[in-house]
Chain A
Amino acid sequence: MARRTGLWSIALAILMVAPAFAHHSFAVYDHTRTLTLRGTVTRFQWTNPHGFIEMDVQQSDGSVKHYSVELTSINMMQRVGWRSNMIKAGDKVQVVVAPLLSGEPVGLGLEVVLADGKTMALPVPAIGSFKRTDTQE
Chain B
Amino acid sequence: MRLVPEPSIERAGDKPRQSFERLARAELARLYAIARRLAGDEAEDAVQECLVKAFERFDQLDDLDAGPAWLARILVNCCHDRGRARSGRPREIAFEEVDDFSLYRKIALEDPYPYSDSLHLDFLGGFGREDVREVLLRLPDLYRIPLVLVYMYGFPTKEAARILDAPLGTVLARLHRGRKLFERQMWDYAEETGLLEEGATR
User: Is B a genuine binding partner of A?
Assistant: no
